[in-house]
């Protein structure tokens, strides 16, 4: 099998068999990419993950692009990424069009009312975890609150907040380094 097809097929399976993405995908990636295919070492894979987190975009997509790129250049990156997202596209389009037809059913309405509460609790739990990891001192606490207010009440575009966080983080940390 040509390497581009192999990449696409391998990541297609990854997209098909992981629920949740991100870290949920790591065990499968280790088995397929490191053990079976030998496309990366364990350390390289963890590096891709770490960098995938600190670059824009979905972590799983970034990791797929990295693995693909180092195997077959830009075409490899595209093949791995398309393979990864293809199951999502097919499954979500199917589910969404079926739901659209039956959403008026009372049973589904009640089910989704329950589901919304679960999602509220799940995302709140994620925010709590992210906050615990991200809030390391009083200034980062203040910044978390500011960004919350900007989105929830002032409707400022998240784009500006991401850029401002990056720039301000650099300014503050370099001032601190100079001061100490």
Partner 1 sequence: MITYLLLMFEFAKTGLFAVGGGLATLPFLREMAMNYPWFTMSDLLDMIAISESTPGPIGVNMATFAGFNAAGALGGIIATLSLVFPSIIVVVIIASFMDRFHKSLIIQRGFYLLRAATAGLIAGAIFEVVLLSLFDVSAYTATKELVTLVRWPALLMFIVLGYLIRRFPKVHPIAFIVGSAALGILLKL
Looking at residues 56 to 85 of the shown chain, list those that interact with partner 1 (rule: CB under 8 A): 56-62, 65-66, 69-70, 74, 77-78, 81, 84-85
Of residues 113, 178, 179, 180, which one binds partner 1 by CB under 8 A? 113
Of residues 114, 178, 179, 180, which one binds partner 1 by CB under 8 A? 114
Residue showing tokens 């993405």:
21
Is residue 31 close enough to count as binding partner 1 by CB under 8 A?
no
Is residue 144 close enough to count as binding partner 1 by CB under 8 A?
yes
Is residue 33 close enough to count as binding partner 1 by CB under 8 A?
no
Q: Find the shortest distance in angstroms from Cβ 118 to partner 1.
A: 4
Quote the CA–CA distance of 118 and 95 in Å, as a whole number.
19
Is residue 30 close enough to count as binding partner 1 by CB under 8 A?
no
Is residue 5 close enough to count as binding partner 1 by CB under 8 A?
no
Compare residues 159 and 179 and give the one whose CB is closer to partner 1.
Answer: 159
Compare residues 5 and 130 and give the one whose CB is closer to partner 1.
Answer: 130
Mutual angle of helices 138-152 and 158-179, in 10-degree steps: 170
Judge residue 42's burial from the number of C-beta atoms within 10 Å of its C-beta, 0-12 exposed, 13-18 middle, 19 or more buried: exposed
Contact criterion met (CB below 8 Å) for 71 and 77: no
Q: Tell me the window of 2-10, 31-39, 126-134 that interacts with partner 1 (CB under 8 A).
A: 126-134
How far apart are the two ends of the chain, measured CA to CA in Å?
A: 58
Contact criterion met (CB below 8 Å) for 63 and 24: no
DSSP one-letter code for 150: H
């Amino acid at each position: 099998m040509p390497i581009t097809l192999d990449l696409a097929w391998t990541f297609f399976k990854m997209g098909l068999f992981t629920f949740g993405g991100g870290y949920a995908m790591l065990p499968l990636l280790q088995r397929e990419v490191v053990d079976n295919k030998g496309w990366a070492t364990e350390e390289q894979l963890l590096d891709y993950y770490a960098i995938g987190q600190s670059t824009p975009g979905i972590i799983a997509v970034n990791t797929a692009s990295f693995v693909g790129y180092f195997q077959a250049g830009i075409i490899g990156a595209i093949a791995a990424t398309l393979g990864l997202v293809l199951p999502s596209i097919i499954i979500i389009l199917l589910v969404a069009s079926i739901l659209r037809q039956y959403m008026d059913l009372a049973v589904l309405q009640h089910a989704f009312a329950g589901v919304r509460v679960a999602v509220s609790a799940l995302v709140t739990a994620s925010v709590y975890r992210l906050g615990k990891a991200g809030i390391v001192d009083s200034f980062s606490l203040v910044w978390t609150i500011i960004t919350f207010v900007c989105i929830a009440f002032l409707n400022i575009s998240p784009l500006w907040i991401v850029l401002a966080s990056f720039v301000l983080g650099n300014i503050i940390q370099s001032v601190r380094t100079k001061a100490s």
